[in-house]
Amino acid sequence: MKITWYGHAAFLIETAGLRIIIDPYRSPDSGGYEPIAEPADIVIVSHENDRYHSHLGQIVPPFEVVRALELPPAGRTVRGIHIEAIHVFETPERLAEDEVTIVHFRSEGIHLVHLGDLGHSLTEAELEPIRHADVVLIPAGGAPTIDLPLVADLLEAIDPRVVIPMHYKTPKINLNIQPLECFLQAAPAWSAEPAAGGSITIEAADLDRSRRIVLLNHIR
């Protein structure tokens, strides 16, 4: 499985012969990330926010769209990948208008979780489907997504092998969020290692290694 970070919360997951794009932003309206002008087989949006998380207009068609807020409780199988969603909220108050999702699926023996715009700690029921996931893509910029003092406990509760930060302040995002350094300070028990570029390839056999944070460079 190859994981590439476009920028903000947008990733390309190449697995099982498929190209899966998650949470595409709208360029340049998100602040300066370049368009995701690439093909996809599947595009997953964790929630509806056309500027930052669900813009389909700059991806090369044809592709199948999975809107996670509309998935049935048991999930849905698309092109052989079973995609599930956990309904959560962007803010601690858990207001209906703040509803978002955590998206997760398994492929090539790897359980991948995209936390989307999660903004609070998780209950046991919310944790159960993703506990001990192999790879977690986590918002790392603090409020309005999960506040940084809650990050360490969230990672301990999920207990993944690989953590990839996203959704943090860079010169190419126009949101008032925190830089990566603040996230790393909030999770001092986790070792961080920079990747060579914007991608990492993970095999199930590699997951016996100690848990770690992998720092990708945005490619857009």
Strands (E) located in 99-168: 99-107, 110-114, 135-139, 162-166
The three-class DSSP label of residue 151 is helix
The separation between the first and the last C-alpha atoms of the chain, rounded to the nearest angstrom, is: 20
Cα 70 to its chain centre, rounded Å, is 18
Other Cβ atoms within 10 Å of 140 Cβ, number: 29
Q: Give one word for 17, left, alpha or beta, with left for phi > 0 and alpha for psi -120 to 50.
A: left
> Which strands form 64-67's sheet, in the order they lie side by side?
64-67, 42-45, 18-22, 10-15, 2-7, 199-201
Q: Are β-strands 199-201 and 76-78 bridged in parallel, bridged antiparallel, or unpaired?
A: unpaired
- Per-residue model confidence (pLDDT) at position 208: 76
Q: Is the peptide bond before 28 cis (omega within 30 degrees of 0)?
A: yes
3-state secondary structure string across 62-129 = CCEEEEHHHCCCCCEEECCEEEEEEEEECCCCCCHHHEEEEEEEEECCEEEEECCCCCCCCCHHHHHH
The three-class DSSP label of residue 139 is strand
Distance, in Å, from the CA atom of 100 to the CA atom of 90, rounded to the nearest integer, reads 6
Distance, in Å, from the CA atom of 152 to the CA atom of 116, rounded to the nearest integer, reads 17
- Per-residue model confidence (pLDDT) at position 103: 98
* pLDDT tens by residue, the chain, 220 residues: 999 999 999 999 999 999 999 999 999 999 999 999 999 999 999 999 999 999 999 999 999 999 999 999 999 999 999 999 999 999 999 999 999 999 999 999 999 999 999 999 999 999 999 999 999 999 999 999 999 999 999 999 999 999 999 999 999 999 999 999 999 999 999 999 999 899 999 999 888 767 999 999 999 9
Q: CB of 171 within 8 A of CB of 220? A: no
pTM: 0.97
Rg (alpha carbons) of the chain, rounded to whole number: 16
Other Cβ atoms within 10 Å of 133 Cβ, number: 19
- Per-residue model confidence (pLDDT) at position 132: 96
Domains of the chain (ranges; CATH) run: 2-215 (3.60.15.10)
- Per-residue model confidence (pLDDT) at position 210: 76
